């Protein structure tokens, strides 16, 4: 058992960086159940993502099949073509490229687009704000449904001029946020979240929760893990499955817990995660993550890291978390190591290695790196394999610094006097006064 776990850990340390190359075993992933959590475009996008990254053919084909069906049902030609390309005729005749269908859908879409645009022009000449706003919204929805994201974005933005109530503004913000998340433009997401939060009316609890979740996602993608954790932890349980076109409540739990573990210190962890009643609702949905947070807090680092490794293959298939998983895991592991060594004057590396389920030499290298980065104040006795805490001798350090400062001062003063002299001669030559 320990050998396999050790191998898993070493893989974990190296595998995160080679995320693209290593095939991921996702035997436990139930594609249907996973996809059922989401709706809208994100379901198809996630299915395609899984198909691309997963190494197991069976699951890949299953995901692609579902993506194809979904895209076809939604008449989204862009995603449909993508799915068909990836299926590559492996699934039989029903899943081959159906250009006729694509053409007919596109034709119908053109017609509808023309109709919407004429309507909109009509509204514009009539200068009825509300109609214009709804017209732009409809066009935006239309573009979004057919996968033309940047046009959708532009249309939604244009409704801004015609919004009269804060409800309109909030609606506009939600639309823009949705499109921006899919476009990957998270700066816009943060922008519009704050815009929505600043409206004068009090917002519906569900909307508040949605905004927090979106903000958390934006922070996660821009690598601001601490802020992301805070946002996710503030998301109220009202979110439920109301935001399934973006994020599922399990995701909130997982993202929030991982970011918190990687970036919070112990007191914050306790107050904001473990004692957080609202967040507990989310954590109940993913009992493994709840276990892992509790293990970390109770210093059962070995079991915590084991849980992390078990979750890893599935998490690597998550469209938002994948790039950050390596960093987050490393941060959590480093935090665990640092916390482990804090209370002791000396630590036997053998015991520590067994607690962290890794080999002594690997652990030594990790510790050396952490010491060089000044995160641990200690020294390694490599001969006896012991880590000794070390605190700098203040008195000696002060003397040394004082003498050094004195020498530098003397040198600088002499150089300065010399330079003053040179400048004096320069002036003498220039000014005949």
Partner 1 sequence: MESVEALVAHIQGLSGSADELAQLHGLLKQADGDALRAHSAGLLPFLSHLHPGAHSLGYLYLLDSFVSSSANLRAHAGGDLLVTVADFLTSCSADQIRMAPDKFLNVCRVLKNEVMQLNAPIRGIAPLRAAVRKIQTSSEQLTPLHAEYLMLCLLAKQYKAGLSVLEDDIFEVDQPKDLFLYCYYGAMIYIGLKKFRKALELLHNAVTAPMSSLNAITVEAYKKYVLVSLIQSGQVPSFPKYTSSTAQRNLKNHTQIYVDLSTCYGTGSYSDLETFIQSNAEAFQTDNNFGLVKQVLSSMYKRNIQRLTQTYLTLSLEDIASSVQLNTPKEAEMHVLRMIEDGEIHATINQKDGMVSFNEDPEQYKSSEMVEHIDSSIQSFHSLCPSIVSTNITEDLKYSYWIA
Which residues bind to partner 1, rule: CB under 8 A?
368, 371-372, 379-384, 388, 393, 395-396, 399-400, 403, 406-407, 409-411, 413-415, 417-428, 430-431, 433
The residue with tokens 């439920």 is: 240
CA dist., res. 171 & res. 187, Å (int) = 19
- φ, ψ of residue 385 to 5 degrees: the values are 55, 55
CA dist., res. 179 & res. 245, Å (int) = 11
Nearest distance, CB of residue 397 and partner 1, angstroms: 10
Q: Cβ(182)–Cβ(191) under 8 Å?
A: no
Nearest distance, CB of residue 427 and partner 1, angstroms: 5
The string of DSSP letters for 26-65 reads: -TT--HHHHHHT--THHHHHHHHHHHHHB--HHHHHHHHH
Nearest distance, CB of residue 377 and partner 1, angstroms: 11
366-373 contacts: CB < 8 A, separation 24 or more? 366/334, 366/337, 367/337, 367/341, 370/334, 370/337, 370/338
In the complex with partner 1, the residue whose CB is nearer, 47 or 387, is 387
In the complex with partner 1, the residue whose CB is nearer, 94 or 395, is 395
Paired tokens of 404: 């050094």
In the complex with partner 1, the residue whose CB is nearer, 127 or 432, is 432
Nearest distance, CB of residue 423 and partner 1, angstroms: 6
In the complex with partner 1, the residue whose CB is nearer, 101 or 427, is 427
Q: Cβ(48)–Cβ(20) under 8 Å?
A: no
Nearest distance, CB of residue 407 and partner 1, angstroms: 8
In the complex with partner 1, the residue whose CB is nearer, 107 or 414, is 414
Nearest distance, CB of residue 406 and partner 1, angstroms: 5
In the complex with partner 1, the residue whose CB is nearer, 145 or 371, is 371
Nearest distance, CB of residue 424 and partner 1, angstroms: 7
In the complex with partner 1, the residue whose CB is nearer, 108 or 419, is 419
203-207 contacts: CB < 8 A, separation 24 or more? 203/170, 205/236, 205/238, 206/238, 206/239, 206/240, 206/242, 207/170, 207/174
CA dist., res. 252 & res. 239, Å (int) = 10
Nearest distance, CB of residue 17 and partner 1, angstroms: 19
Nearest distance, CB of residue 371 and partner 1, angstroms: 5
Q: Cβ(202)–Cβ(224) under 8 Å?
A: no
In the complex with partner 1, the residue whose CB is nearer, 110 or 381, is 381
In the complex with partner 1, the residue whose CB is nearer, 150 or 351, is 351
**Where would I find the H helices in 163-248?**
166-183, 186-197, 205-221, 225-234
Say which DSSP state 96 is in: S
Paired tokens of 194: 């704050």
Q: Is 379 helix (H, G, I), strand (E, B) or coil?
A: strand
């Amino acid at each position: 058992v320990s050998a396999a776990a050790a191998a898993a850990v070493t893989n974990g340390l190296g595998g995160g960086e080679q995320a693209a190359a290593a095939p991921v075993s996702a035997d436990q992933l139930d594609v249907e159940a996973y996809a059922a959590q989401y709706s809208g475009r994100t379901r198809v996008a996630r299915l395609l993502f899984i198909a691309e990254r997963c190494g197991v053919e069976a699951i890949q084909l299953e995901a692609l099949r579902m993506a194809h069906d979904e895209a076809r049902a939604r008449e989204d030609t862009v995603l449909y073509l993508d799915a068909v390309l990836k299926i590559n005729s492996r699934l039989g005749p029903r899943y081959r490229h159906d250009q006729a269908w694509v053409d007919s859908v596109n034709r119908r879409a053109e017609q509808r687009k023309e109709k919407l645009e004429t309507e909109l022009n009509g509204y514009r000449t009539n200068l009825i704000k509300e109609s214009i706003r709804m017209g732009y919204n409809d066009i935006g929805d239309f573009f979004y449904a057919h996968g033309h994201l940047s046009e959708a974005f532009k249309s939604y933005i244009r409704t801004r001029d015609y919004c009269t109530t804060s409800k309109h503004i909030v609606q506009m913000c939600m639309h823009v946020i949705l499109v921006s998340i899919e476009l990957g433009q998270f700066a816009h997401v943060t922008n519009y979240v704050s815009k929505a939060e600043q409206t004068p009316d009090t917002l519906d609890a569900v909307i508040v929760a949605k905004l927090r979740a979106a903000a958390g996602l934006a922070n996660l993608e821009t690598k601001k893990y601490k802020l992301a954790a805070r946002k996710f932890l503030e998301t109220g349980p009202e979110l439920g499955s109301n935001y399934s076109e973006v994020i599922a409540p399990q995701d909130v739990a997982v993202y929030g817990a991982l970011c918190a573990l990687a970036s919070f210190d112990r007191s914050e962890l306790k107050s904001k995660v473990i004692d957080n009643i609202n967040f507990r609702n989310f954590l109940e949905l993913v009992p493994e993550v709840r276990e892992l947070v509790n293990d970390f807090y109770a210093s059962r680092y070995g079991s915590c890291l084991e849980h992390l490794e078990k979750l890893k293959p599935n998490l690597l298939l998550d469209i938002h978390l994948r790039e950050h998983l390596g960093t987050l895991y490393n941060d959590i592991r480093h935090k665990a190591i640092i916390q482990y060594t804090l209370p002791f004057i000396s630590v036997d590396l053998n015991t520590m290695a067994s607690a962290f389920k890794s080999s002594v030499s690997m652990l030594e290298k990790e510790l050396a790196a952490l010491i060089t980065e000044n995160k641990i104040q200690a020294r390694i006795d490599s001969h006896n394999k012991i880590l000794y805490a070390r605190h700098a001798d203040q008195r000696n350090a002060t003397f040394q610094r004082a003498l050094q400062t004195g020498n530098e001062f003397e040198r600088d003063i002499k150089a300065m006097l010399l330079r003053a002299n040179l400048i004096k001669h320069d002036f003498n030559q220039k000014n005949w006064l």
